[in-house]
Amino acid sequence: MSLEHWDTGCGYCEAAALRMDTDDANATRSLRRSQVQLRRYVRRNSLTRLLTFTNGAEVGWQTRKAALDDVARFIKVHGVRCFGQNAVVMVAEQGGRGLRWHVHALIPSGRWLSYREIIRTWSTFLTNRGYISASGSHRWHAGDDKHQHSGGFSSARVAAGYAAKYLTKDMLLAGEYGSGLHRYRCSRLDFPRPVVSGFPSLADALADLECHAIAMEQVDALGTFFTIGYWFEGG
C-alpha dihedral (72, 76, 82, 84), degrees to nearest 10: 110
pTM: 0.70
* Residue 2 pLDDT: 41
- Mark whether 130 and 213 lie in a shared domain: no
- Mark whether 174 and 110 lie in a shared domain: yes
For residue 34, being part of any structural domain is answered with no
For residue 37, being part of any structural domain is answered with no
pLDDT band of residue 12 (cuts 50, 70, 90) is low
Distance CA 148, CA 146 (A): 5
What are the residues whose beta carbons fall under 8 Å from the beta carbon of 161, sequence distance 6 or more?
39
State how many domains the chain has: 2
- Mark whether 62 and 135 lie in a shared domain: yes
Element (H, E) at 201: none
What's the domain range around 220? 202-234
pLDDT band of residue 191 (cuts 50, 70, 90) is low
The end-to-end CA distance of the chain, in Å, is: 43
- Mark whether 117 and 228 lie in a shared domain: no
Distance CA 176, CA 164 (A): 18
* Residue 25 pLDDT: 73
Q: Are 54 and 138 in contact (CB under 8 A)?
A: yes
Based on its alpha-carbon atoms, the radius of gyration of the chain, rounded to whole angstroms, reads 23
For residue 8, being part of any structural domain is answered with no
pLDDT band of residue 18 (cuts 50, 70, 90) is low
- Mark whether 167 and 212 lie in a shared domain: no
For residue 23, being part of any structural domain is answered with no
Distance CA 28, CA 166 (A): 14
**87 pLDDT more than 80:** yes
Instruction: Give the whole-number percent of the chain exceeding pLDDT 70.
Output: 75
